[in-house]
Amino acid sequence: MIKLPAELTHEVAAGFALGLKRQVQLQPGAVVADASALQLFDSSALAVLLACRREALAAGKTFSVQGLAPRLRQLAALYGVAELVPPTP
């Protein structure tokens, strides 16, 4: 599981994303992004989730998100990418 930090805004997203590929590679067949700690975020959080999804799919793994805040899910719907950040079953 990849745990997102409490803050994922434009200022910190690039730094967090630097280690994303390695984190995805360390996961077993399913990559789950845990967004439950997110408190302060902007659209950069979606960019990080989409990057995580890209890395997971490129590695032949599945991708899902757990604990996505309703406000961030609304933002994903607004941008038309909600189906790309599916909830963990």
19 in helix, strand or coil?
coil
For the chain, domain boundaries: 2-84
Q: What is the pLDDT of residues 41-84, one digit of tens each?
A: 999 999 999 999 999 999 999 999 999 999 999 999 999 999 99
- DSSP letter (8 states) at residue 68: -
What spatial distance separates the first Cα and last Cα of the chain, rounded to whole Å?
A: 14
Range 2-84: architecture per CATH? 2-Layer Sandwich (3.30)
pLDDT of 29 > 90? The answer is no
pLDDT of 2 > 90? The answer is yes
Residue 59's pLDDT is: 94
Quote the pTM value: 0.92
